[in-house]
Amino acid sequence: MRTLKELTRPNVWALKPYSSARDEYSGVEASVFLDANENPYNTPNNRYPDPLQRELKALIAPLKGVKEENIFLGNGSDEAIDLVFRAFCRPGVDNVVAIDPTYGMYQVCAEVNDVEYRKMLLDVYYQFKASSLLSAIDENTKAIFVCSPNNPTGNSLCRKEIESLLKRFDGLVIVDEAYIDFSSSESLLKDLDKYPNLIVLQTFSKAWGCAAIRLGMAFASPEIIAIFNKIKYPYNVNRLTQEEAIKVLQHPETIKGWVNTLLEERARVMEEFVKLPCCVRVFPTDANFFLAKVYEATQIYNYLVSEGIIVRNRTNVALCNDCLRITIGTKEENEALLEALKKVEVE
């Protein structure tokens, strides 16, 4: 691996971060806080939240088997994705490499930050070879993005190829595990200490059922996390979000229950889906959604909209011609979808 200094934008490496009142005094013994120009009324929302979300990280660390210094929390994983570009990629100079098709935010953040985005097409099984991604890199490639289980294809990527990337690429490898809780394959978190160039992304938006609170996690070496902390907005995770996350973390068994129910429904819905006349095939999935190839995806999408049922039309995405991405909902919602699709006639 290139040194972290070589990978980091020089201005970011040299940056002296903004030091907030809550950074300079973070003890709890004091009882009179006249340091942050807060309003003394309207407790508890009058106080700035903990910029490093320590109480929350103390709950996440044992759950994920990492140390608190390995955790960055942001306004959705989208914040962590954006920070990768802002921390490491010089606008107009550096580039990143990613699989295609995949989650759209990597490319959006690349373009916002004026960083070249190089896509490498997956094979027909929606898998990649490390050597293919590595053939796209040059001396200005700072990061490679992979997503496993992948969105919109749903499958987990081959573990051996991801590890091969981590070993052979001398820049950062971002592995987006937004759907890992639905997956039968293991998270890469256990290998965090083995790969200093690994950044794992997870989120509260999917299995944890908290998309509205906007809380994403990045796991990496303490050195990488320190760079994220240096350039993030000081109070990037608000108090209400921290409080709600602390609340849901008290009930991991509820989340396990949701995941199990969704996995059972996923199996049932896919089994029924392949029997539909409009279905060409369903693709294997490790997530809380599946990709299905149908006859005339756009026609079926529009028909479902007219029935008040919204799925994601992915027909214009690479390798996803005539494909719909279908999220697993409640049993009732899934039934509504299947019943509506039974009525579709195919010539």
Cβ 91 vs Cβ 10: under 8 Å: no
Give me 224's structure tokens: 């990488």
CB of 83 to ligand PLP, least distance (A): 12
Q: Taking CB positions, which residue lies at the least distance from ligand PLP? A: 76
Q: Does 82 bind ligand PLP (CB under 6 A)?
A: no
**Please, are residues 322 and 280 in contact by the beta-carbon 8 Å criterion?**
yes
Q: Which two tokens stand for residue 66?
A: 């990492």
As a whole number of angstroms, the distance between CA 297 and CA 286 comes to 22
Q: Phi and psi (nearest 5°) for 327?
A: -80, 140
Q: Which stretch binds ligand PLP (CB under 6 A): 9-17, 86-94, 111-119, 204-212?
A: 204-212
The β-bridge relationship of strands 312-313 and 323-327 is antiparallel
Tell me the closest approach of the beta carbon of residue 210 to ligand PLP, in angstroms.
9
| Cα 33 to Cα 44: distance, rounded to the nearest angstrom | 13
Select the span of 32-40, 114-122, 198-206, 253-261 touching ligand PLP (CB under 6 A).
Answer: 198-206
Residue type, 56: L
Exactly one of 72, 85, 88, 103 binds ligand PLP (CB under 6 A); that residue is 103
Residues 130-149 within binding reach of ligand PLP (CB under 6 A): 147
* Residue choice 82, 94, 161, 176 for contact with ligand PLP (CB under 6 A): 176
One-letter amino acid at 323 equals C
Quick one: 205 or 236, whose CB is closer to ligand PLP? 205
Kindly state whether residue 205 participates in binding ligand PLP, applying the rule CB under 6 A. Answer: yes
The residue from 211, 267, 310, 346 that contacts ligand PLP (CB under 6 A) is 211
Angle between helices 222-231 and 77-88 (to 10 degrees): 90
In whole angstroms, the minimum distance from the beta carbon of 216 to ligand PLP comes to 4
Q: Which residues contact 30 (CB under 8 A, 6 or more apart)?
A: none
Q: Supply the minimum distance, in Å, between the C-beta of residue 103 and ligand PLP.
A: 3
Binding site for ligand PLP (CB under 6 A): 76-78, 103, 147, 151, 176, 178, 203, 205-206, 211, 216
